[in-house]
Structure 1
Amino acid sequence: MEQIKLEEKLEDITGVTCIYIPVQDVYESIKWYQKNLGCEPTNHNPVKPGMELSILRFPDLNGNFLEPGLRQTVPAIFLIKTKQAVGGLDFTLESSARLPLACFITPRIQEIYNRFKENGVNIVSDIPENKPSGPNFKFRDPDGNMLEIWQP
């Protein structure tokens, strides 16, 4: 078998640029993602009822919203209107464990968890205690898409 030299492949993939999330109402979903995850729509599409697509960005440590680039470490969220209800995206392992579509990283998991509870977000799992890989919890957006938040 041919050996691949890691140093030659180091710059082939530089990150994940976006996560595609199917929704029934892009306009209403924007409000939910702004309120709960703190992201903002870009200027690519005017925000209005009936829109088909919105690109959301997360702020950097200084509160600035960066455009995509080679070193952008936080992917954009593409909210895309679907023709029919998807019923939420996630998948099940043979062990019956349900896994989310994506996992976000935070330094303040308890603060976000409390905010989600206050906002009535559908929290699927509580924050486990003493988890070796760090605390996390799963939740669903209004369209039933399962997502996760993890604090390393």
Structure 2
Amino acid sequence: MGENEEAKVGERLEDITGVTCIYVPVSDVYKSIKWYQENLGYQPSDKERVEPGMVTAILNIPNRNRNGDMPIPGLRQVVPALFLHQSDEEGGRLRFTWSMDDSDKPHAMACFITPRIEELINRFKDNGVHIISERMTSGPNITFADPDGNVWEVWQP
């Protein structure tokens, strides 16, 4: 790219301003709704009728700042909705491996932020969530998988 082209790109308005949703393949949408509610606090859209046999669902994180409290700086951000879609018999697989340390561990496709990671880790352990790893580098984080093998991460700055 030439110098003039770079300058034009810098002068434009932002092309991308956020992420609105993540599409998640699952084997059973109804069961997955329950799992994401119990473990991550996601809730079905008000427009959704939650029932067995669903093939798609939209889940959101509710805004818990009901008293007009200011959000915690750097922690309360726009959280993308999850669009659960029934996939083939294998279920999900939003993951890849990253062989930086020759371990071939599954790598997360997205990382959520929390102000209370210890509570979340304890909930995961109580609920039998498949925990892949816990690390304390650059703030504590945990990598885990949903029942379909979709790999996620949560980080506390």
TM-score of Structure 1 vs Structure 2, range by shorter chain: 0.7 to 0.9
Compared with structure 1, are the counterparts of its residues 116 and 13 closer, same or farther at alpha carbon in structure 2 (3 Å cutoff)? same
Is contact 1:56-1:77 (8 Å) kept?
Answer: yes
- Report the alpha carbon displacement of residue 89 of structure 1 after superposing the two structures with TM: 2.4
Is contact 1:44-1:54 (8 Å) kept?
Answer: no
Percent identity (aligned): 56
Alignment: residue pair count: 142
**Range 114-123 or range 40-49, more displaced:** 40-49
Compared with structure 1, are the counterparts of its residues 48 and 4 closer, same or farther at alpha carbon in structure 2 (3 Å cutoff)? farther
Mapped to 2, the partners of 1:141 and 1:85 lie a distance apart of 13
- Report the alpha carbon displacement of residue 97 of structure 1 after superposing the two structures with TM: 4.7
Q: Does structure 1 residue 79 correspond to structure 2 residue 84?
A: yes
1:18-57 residue pairs with structure 2 within 5 A?
18-57=21-60
Aligned to 1:16: 19
Compared with structure 1, are the counterparts of its residues 63 and 53 closer, same or farther at alpha carbon in structure 2 (3 Å cutoff)? farther
Give 1:116's match in structure 2, choosing from 119, 124, 145: 124
- What is the one-letter code of the residue matched to 2:87? T
Mapped to 1, the partners of 2:52 and 2:20 lie a distance apart of 26
Compared with structure 1, are the counterparts of its residues 18 and 63 closer, same or farther at alpha carbon in structure 2 (3 Å cutoff)? farther
**Structure 1, unaligned stretches of length 5 or more?**
65-71
Give 2:112's match in structure 1, choosing from 87, 91, 104: 104
Compared with structure 1, are the counterparts of its residues 107 and 9 closer, same or farther at alpha carbon in structure 2 (3 Å cutoff)? farther
SS at match of 1:104: strand
Aligned to 1:68: none
Mapped to 2, the partners of 1:25 and 1:42 lie a distance apart of 17
- What is the one-letter code of the residue matched to 2:155? W
| RMSD between superposed Cα atoms in Å | 2.1
User: If the length of structure 2 is used for normalisation, what is the TM-score?
Assistant: 0.81
Compared with structure 1, are the counterparts of its residues 6 and 106 closer, same or farther at alpha carbon in structure 2 (3 Å cutoff)? farther
- Report the alpha carbon displacement of residue 73 of structure 1 after superposing the two structures with TM: 1.4
**Structure 2, unaligned stretches of length 5 or more?**
68-76
- Report the alpha carbon displacement of residue 84 of structure 1 after superposing the two structures with TM: 2.9
Larger Rg: 2
- Report the alpha carbon displacement of residue 87 of structure 1 after superposing the two structures with TM: 5.5
Aligned to 1:67: none
- Report the alpha carbon displacement of residue 5 of structure 1 after superposing the two structures with TM: 5.0
